[in-house]
Chain A
Amino acid sequence: MKKVSLSLFLVAVLSIIFLCPVKAQAQTWASQSIISCEADILQGNDSGEVIINFTVRATNSLPKIGALKIDIYRTSGDRAATIWGSTSNGLLSSKSTTRYSYRYSYKGIPTVSYYAVVTICAGTSTNYDTREVKTSVVQAPK
Chain B
Amino acid sequence: MAENDVRATGMPDPQELARLSPEELAQAMEQALDEMTEDTYDQAIIDAYLDALDAKTPMPEAPNVDASYQQFQAMLSRAVPAQGPTRPKRRSNVFRITLRVFLAAAFLFSCLLVAQAGGVDVLGAVARWTDETFHFKVQEDQTTSDWYVPYQEQLESAGLDAAWIPTWIPDGYTVGEIDVDELTTWTDYYIPLNNSDGATIHFFITIYTDPADIGNPIFEKDDRPVQEYQTNGKTVYLFHNLDLMTAVCQDENVLYTLSGDLSEDMVLRFFSGIGSHT
Do B113 and A30 touch (CB < 8 A)? no
**Among residues 2 to 43 in chain A, which have CB atoms less than 8 Å away from a CB atom of chain B?**
5, 8-9, 11-13, 15-16, 19-20, 22-25, 27-32, 34-40, 42
Chain A: interface size category: 35 or more
CB of B213 closer than 8 Å to a CB of A = yes
Nearest CB on B from A100, distance (A)? 8
Specify which of B110, B185, B202, B210 is in contact with A19 (CB 8 Å cutoff). B110
The answer to whether B133 has its CB under 8 Å from any CB of chain A is yes
Residue of A nearest to B179 (CB): A99
State whether B190 touches A98 (Cβ < 8 A).
Answer: yes
A-contact 0/1 string along B116-141, CB 8 Å cutoff: 01000000000000111100000000
Interface majority SS (helix, strand, loop, mixed), chain B: mixed
The reply to whether A24 and B130 form a contact with Cβ atoms under 8 Å apart is yes
Query: Inside 8 A of B185's CB, which chain A residues have their CB?
Result: 40, 42, 53
| CB nearest neighbor in A for B241 | A30
Closest to A103 in B: B183
Task: Known contacts A19-B110, A42-B184, A53-B184; decide if A35 and B246 are in contact (CB<8 Å).
Answer: yes
Closest to A4 in B: B103
Contact string against B for A residues 78-101, beta-carbon threshold 8 Å, 1 for contact and 0 otherwise? 000000000000000000001111
Where the two chains meet, the residues of A that have a C-beta atom closer than 8 Å to any C-beta of B are: 5, 8-9, 11-13, 15-16, 19-20, 22-25, 27-32, 34-40, 42, 51, 53, 55, 57, 59-60, 98-101, 103, 131, 133, 136
